[in-house]
């Protein structure tokens, strides 16, 4: 924790002026404080101020000239770098855009709660004593691997010698090895742009050159890097990163679900010789602080991080890459509802740095910006190494019907068989966790619903529980129906990945199969290992949710079966078509990335659906053109603006009354439509009743001003009532 200099103001002389201090709490206003004499404060300085009965941390937002009068005084100043003007501007901008309280946005940039958890020292072992009295082959291997007396991490030694950690421990007990702390892990080793320069194809080289030029120009500008799956987008944007490193400037690579990108880190290390600075929620304590300091000093040249990395104090940002820019995970749904891709563009503008948005399936917003010339459009239309994109086919489930209680069609089963015989891997994609999405009583029709949410409980057989995916409520699956008390009358309805695994085990008992979803027992570490094992060909059939759909490289995978291609298309969400198109194009893109060509089969009840036809045609332009036309006709983003207001309360009456009162205060205006209030699709969530209002405006309308004016005129939220504003909503629950 940075040191705090407390001010001793007993010898007060004269006046020091005033400052407005923003406090990282849910407050929109900066508060004025008097500056004690002798203390010089400037905007961005991190200070301690009294707030109510406590002292709290805050940031000087502006300096006034007034006399302090009877204002409370600043009580201390932290010895740490100030928040620079660019970061303060970003905070102001995000707060303006999202309507979040400025203090809440500041909290994203000022993660400096005193975190003194000491960094756990990593321990290594060194060969230092006589051989053990009892020698075994494993012990001999471990000793041989430690030859030379170097200090080695225990896990690395175990791996090098192919022995378990217990073998090493036994040698420590025997006095053959000694344990010593390893040097601290570097958080910011310098990447070497010349470490392993790839040989780029002509098409790749051309795009890389354009990106390198944008880094050299040192000015703001956005490029859409649109490349089919397996085209080498990563390889290409690494060249831009390399150029930024050569210029001594910093790069930020934003990615979704950072914890699962072990493959990405390995690739970065293979290209640059060191790991990037990693910023995500699992990096804590002292290490987090060290990285933050290295970023602020400019020592850390490349940061790969989840969306919160957007608010770090870069000293000299020369490039921002947003990988998989279409990912819904970039939108933060709780607290400050910001979209990290959009705010990355804002930060690029503030820092005067180029921004690269990379995707195989760009969002409609980004595509339209590229088409209108606001963004440069760089394309990689072919897979690297002359590999073909997988051939896609539809299976009409109305004709090729699976048996009752089964989900795989004859055509898909046959394709898996062929693959098994050829020793190639198959992926079955079903975006449904658990065993079955619904449980009901065969006798009385009772359905298991969450007591806190408008949602069915999902049957998780592996965990022997019924679970709510919205609030986490868990209950045991009973043996009799709780309503009619008939024993053994409960049936599972519909498939989840666990149920599919059961079907696979029955159909292909000899195949090595694995279920991969976020419920994977053993946490992300185990999951990472299993993903590696899949990449190395250790499984024949992978049954997975969206977790395996993107970003992974499985060279032996030649077949992808989409179990329910209609699943995402039936929701009322305006982005349903886009999301489904992206998800299915990503998942089918897992096939045929290695030596052998791949194919994909999509099971559907609606083979005429335009999204599926566009997918199979292999012509994304067709999809984008049709989707743009329908969004434009409906005035939806990016052709219009959208915001959602969710009014929630402990009772339905409170929520409804407040929502109605709010709706009555909405001002009519040119190009403005207010819809609702109506019950939100998730009418009850975590015990809170929810009503929803939607505002849709023309592009020219200043949506933020409109919303601010409206909320100001509207009724105060009393009692348990809360109003949450979501500008550019991505989910419509």
Ligand X SMILES: Nc1ncnc2c1ncn2[C@@H]1O[C@H](COP(=O)(O)OP(=O)(O)OP(=O)(O)O)[C@@H](O)[C@H]1O
Shorter beta-carbon distance to Zn ion: residue 468 or 563:
468
- Distance in angstroms (rounded) separating the CA atoms of residues 590 and 599: 9
Q: Which helix (H) or strand (E) holds 5?
A: strand 4-6
Residue 450 partner contact from Zn ion, ligand X, none using kind-dependent CB cut-offs of 5 to 8 Å: Zn ion
Shortest CB 304 distance to ligand X, Å: 14
What does the block give as tokens for 342? 């959009």
Residue 234 partner contact from ligand X, Zn ion, none using kind-dependent CB cut-offs of 5 to 8 Å: ligand X
Shortest CB 198 distance to ligand X, Å: 4
User: Buried b vs exposed e over 690-709: b needs ≥16 C-beta within 10 Å?
Assistant: bbbbbbbbeeebebbebbee
Shortest CB 455 distance to Zn ion, Å: 6
Interface positions with ligand X (CB under 6 A): 198-201, 204, 227, 229-235, 360, 384, 551, 553, 589
Shorter beta-carbon distance to Zn ion: residue 428 or 453:
453
Residue 218 partner contact from ligand X, Zn ion, none using kind-dependent CB cut-offs of 5 to 8 Å: none
Shortest CB 543 distance to ligand X, Å: 20
Q: Which helix (H) or strand (E) holds 632?
A: helix 620-634
Shortest CB 421 distance to ligand X, Å: 26
Shorter beta-carbon distance to ligand X: residue 170 or 582:
582
Which residues, 412 to 451, sit near Zn ion by CB under 5 A?
Answer: 450
What does the block give as tokens for 334? 């709780």
- Distance in angstroms (rounded) separating the CA atoms of residues 518 and 671: 43
Helix axes 165-173, 154-161, angle to 10 degrees: 110
CB 642 within 8 A of CB 732: no
Q: DSSP assignment of 175-201, as one string?
A: TSEEEEEPPPPPSSPPP-TTSS-----
Shorter beta-carbon distance to ligand X: residue 458 or 587:
587
Residue 11 partner contact from Zn ion, ligand X, none using kind-dependent CB cut-offs of 5 to 8 Å: none
Q: How many CA atoms lie within 13 A of 610 on its CB side?
A: 12
Residue 465 partner contact from ligand X, Zn ion, none using kind-dependent CB cut-offs of 5 to 8 Å: none
Shorter beta-carbon distance to ligand X: residue 271 or 301:
271
Cis peptide before 615 (omega within 30 of 0): no
CB 307 within 8 A of CB 342: no
CB 78 within 8 A of CB 48: yes
Residue 104 partner contact from ligand X, Zn ion, none using kind-dependent CB cut-offs of 5 to 8 Å: none
Residue 363 partner contact from Zn ion, ligand X, none using kind-dependent CB cut-offs of 5 to 8 Å: none
Residue 663 partner contact from ligand X, Zn ion, none using kind-dependent CB cut-offs of 5 to 8 Å: none
Shortest CB 684 distance to Zn ion, Å: 8
- Distance in angstroms (rounded) separating the CA atoms of residues 63 and 127: 61
Shorter beta-carbon distance to Zn ion: residue 471 or 661:
471
Shorter beta-carbon distance to ligand X: residue 366 or 604:
366
Shortest CB 588 distance to ligand X, Å: 11
Q: Sheet holding 354-359: strands in order across?
A: 277-279, 302-305, 250-254, 317-323, 354-359, 221-227, 376-380
User: Buried b vs exposed e over 396-423: b needs ≥16 C-beta within 10 Å?
Assistant: ebeeeebeeebbbbebbbebbeebbeee
Strand partners, 398: none
User: Does 453 belong to an annotated binding site?
Assistant: yes
User: Does 468 belong to an annotated binding site?
Assistant: yes
Proportion of the chain in helix, strand, coil states, percent, rounded to 5: 35, 25, 45
Residue from 364, 468, 490, 565 binding Zn ion (CB under 5 A): 468
User: Does 493 belong to an annotated binding site?
Assistant: no
- Helices and strands of the chain, counted as H and E runs: 19, 31
Residue 698 partner contact from ligand X, Zn ion, none using kind-dependent CB cut-offs of 5 to 8 Å: none
Instruction: Give residue number: closest CB to ligand X.
Output: 232
- Number of residues interacting with Zn ion: please give it, by CB under 5 A: 7
- Distance in angstroms (rounded) separating the CA atoms of residues 260 and 102: 32
Shortest CB 439 distance to Zn ion, Å: 15
Residue from 111, 112, 470, 486 binding Zn ion (CB under 5 A): 470
| CA-based nearest residue to 584, from 234, 344, 229 | 229
Q: Where are the beta strands (DSSP E) in 342-449?
A: 354-359, 376-380, 391-396, 425-429, 438-441
Residue 470 partner contact from ligand X, Zn ion, none using kind-dependent CB cut-offs of 5 to 8 Å: Zn ion
Cβ partners under 8 Å of residue 711, min gap 6: 99, 723, 725
| CA-based nearest residue to 704, from 636, 641, 646 | 641
Shortest CB 688 distance to Zn ion, Å: 11
**Hey, how many other C-beta atoms are within 10 angstroms of the C-beta on 606?**
16
Shorter beta-carbon distance to Zn ion: residue 145 or 440:
440
Shortest CB 680 distance to Zn ion, Å: 14
Strand partners, 376: 223
Helix (H, G, I), strand (E, B) or coil at 557: strand
Q: Sheet holding 458-460: strands in order across?
A: 458-460, 465-467, 474-475
Shortest CB 197 distance to ligand X, Å: 10
CB 682 within 8 A of CB 455: yes
Q: By CB under 5 A, is residue 141 in contact with Zn ion?
A: no
Cβ partners under 8 Å of residue 184, min gap 6: 119
Shorter beta-carbon distance to ligand X: residue 231 or 545:
231
Shorter beta-carbon distance to ligand X: residue 558 or 697:
558
Residue 420 partner contact from ligand X, Zn ion, none using kind-dependent CB cut-offs of 5 to 8 Å: none
Shortest CB 200 distance to ligand X, Å: 5
Residue 471 partner contact from Zn ion, ligand X, none using kind-dependent CB cut-offs of 5 to 8 Å: Zn ion
User: Does 444 belong to an annotated binding site?
Assistant: yes
Residue 453 partner contact from Zn ion, ligand X, none using kind-dependent CB cut-offs of 5 to 8 Å: Zn ion
- Distance in angstroms (rounded) separating the CA atoms of residues 551 and 235: 13
- The β-bridge relationship of strands 354-359 and 376-380 is unpaired
Q: By CB under 5 A, is residue 471 in contact with Zn ion?
A: yes
Shortest CB 199 distance to ligand X, Å: 6
Residue from 249, 473, 593, 631 binding Zn ion (CB under 5 A): 473
| φ/ψ (deg, to 5) at 392 | -105, 135
CB 469 within 8 A of CB 433: yes
Of 439-447, 469-477, 656-664, 674-682, the window that binds Zn ion (rule: CB under 5 A) is: 469-477
Shorter beta-carbon distance to Zn ion: residue 553 or 731:
731
Shortest CB 474 distance to ligand X, Å: 35
x-or-dash string of contact with Zn ion, 447-466, rule CB under 5 A: ---x-xx-------------
Shorter beta-carbon distance to ligand X: residue 537 or 574:
537
Q: Which residue reads 């990355």 in tokens?
A: 344
Shorter beta-carbon distance to ligand X: residue 170 or 251:
251
Shorter beta-carbon distance to ligand X: residue 360 or 727:
360
Binding-site residues for Zn(2+): 441, 444, 450, 453, 468, 471, 481, 484
Residues of the binding site: 441, 444, 450, 453, 468, 471, 481, 484
Residues that bind Zn ion (CB under 5 A): 450, 452-453, 468, 470-471, 473
């Amino acid at each position: 924790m940075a040191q705090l200099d407390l001010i001793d103001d007993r010898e007060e002389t004269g006046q020091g002026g005033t400052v407005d201090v923003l406090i990282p709490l849910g407050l929109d206003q900066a508060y004025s404080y008097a500056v004690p004499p002798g203390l010089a404060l400037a905007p961005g300085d991190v200070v301690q101020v009294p707030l109510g009965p406590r002292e709290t941390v805050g940031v000087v937002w502006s300096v006034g000239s007034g006399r302090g009068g009877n204002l409370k005084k600043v009580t201390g100043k932290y010895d740490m770098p100030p928040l620079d003007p660019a970061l303060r501007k970003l905070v102001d901008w995000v707060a303006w855009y999202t309507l979040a309280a400025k203090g809440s946005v500041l909290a994203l940039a000022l993660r400096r709660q005193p975190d003194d958890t000491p960094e756990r020292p990593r321990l290594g072992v060194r060969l230092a004593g006589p051989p053990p009295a009892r020698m075994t082959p494993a012990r001999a291997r471990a000793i041989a691997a430690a030859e030379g007396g170097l200090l080695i991490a225990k896990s690395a030694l175990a791996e090098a010698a192919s022995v378990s950690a217990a073998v090493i421990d036994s040698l420590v007990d025997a006095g053959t090895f000694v344990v010593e702390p390893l040097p601290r892990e570097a958080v910011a080793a310098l990447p070497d742009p010349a470490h392993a320069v790839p040989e780029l194809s002509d098409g790749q080289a051309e795009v890389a050159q354009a990106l390198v030029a944008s880094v050299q120009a040192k000015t703001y500008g956005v490029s859409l890097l649109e490349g089919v799956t397996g085209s080498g987008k990563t390889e290409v944007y690494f060249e831009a990163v390399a150029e930024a490193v050569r210029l001594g400037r910093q790069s930020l690579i934003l990615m979704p679900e950072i914890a699962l990108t072990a493959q990405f880190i390995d690739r970065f290390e293979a290209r640059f010789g060191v790991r990037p600075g990693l910023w995500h929620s699992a990096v804590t304590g002292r290490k987090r602080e060290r990285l933050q300091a290295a970023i602020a000093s400019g020592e850390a040249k490349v940061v790969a991080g989840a969306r919160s990395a957007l608010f770090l104090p870069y000293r000299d940002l020369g490039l921002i890459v947003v990988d998989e820019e279409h990912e819904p995970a970039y939108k933060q749904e709780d607290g400050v509802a910001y979209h990290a891709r959009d705010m990355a563009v804002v930060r690029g503008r503030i820092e005067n740095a180029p921004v690269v948005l990379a995707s195989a399936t760009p969002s409609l917003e980004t595509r339209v910006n590229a088409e209108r010339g606001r963004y440069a459009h760089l394309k990689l239309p072919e897979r690297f190494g002359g590999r073909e994109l997988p051939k896609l086919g539809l299976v009409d489930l109305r004709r090729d019907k699976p048996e009752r209680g089964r989900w795989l069609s004859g055509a898909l089963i046959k394709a898996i068989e062929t693959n098994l015989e050829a020793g190639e891997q198959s992926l079955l994609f079903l975006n449904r966790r658990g065993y079955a999405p619904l449980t009901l009583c065969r006798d009385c029709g009772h359905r298991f619903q969450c007591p806190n949410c408008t949602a069915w409980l999902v049957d998780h057989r592996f965990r022997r529980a019924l679970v709510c995916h919205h609030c986490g409520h868990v209950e045991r699956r009973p043996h009799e129906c709780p309503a009619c008390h008939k024993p053994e009358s409960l049936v599972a309805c519909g498939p989840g990945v666990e149920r599919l695994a059961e079907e696979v085990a029955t159909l292909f008992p000899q195949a090595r199969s694995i279920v991969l979803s976020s419920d994977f027992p053993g946490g992300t570490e185990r999951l990472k290992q299993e993903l590696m094992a899949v990449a190395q060909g250790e499984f024949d059939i992978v049954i997975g949710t969206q977790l395996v759909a993107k970003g992974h490289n499985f060279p032996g995978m030649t077949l992808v079966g989409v179990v329910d291609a209609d699943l995402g298309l039936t929701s009322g969400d305006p982005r349903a078509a886009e999301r489904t198109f992206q998800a299915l194009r990503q998942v089918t893109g897992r096939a045929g990335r290695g030596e052998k060509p791949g194919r994909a089969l999509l099971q559907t009840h609606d083979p005429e659906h335009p999204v599926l036809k566009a997918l199979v045609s292999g012509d994304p332009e067709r999809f984008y053109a049709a989707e743009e036309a329908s969004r434009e006709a409906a005035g939806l983003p990016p052709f219009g603006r959208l915001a959602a207001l969710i009014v929630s309360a402990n009772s339905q009456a409170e929520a409804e009354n407040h929502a109605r009162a709010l709706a009555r205060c909405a001002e009519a205006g040119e190009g403005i439509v207010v819809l609702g209030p109506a019950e939100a699709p998730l009418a009850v969530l975590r015990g809170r009743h929810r009503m929803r209002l939607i505002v849709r405006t023309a592009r020219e309308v200043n949506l933020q001003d409109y919303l601010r004016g409206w909320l100001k005129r509207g009724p105060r939220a009393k009692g348990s009532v809360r109003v949450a504003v979501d500008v550019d909503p991505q989910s419509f629950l």
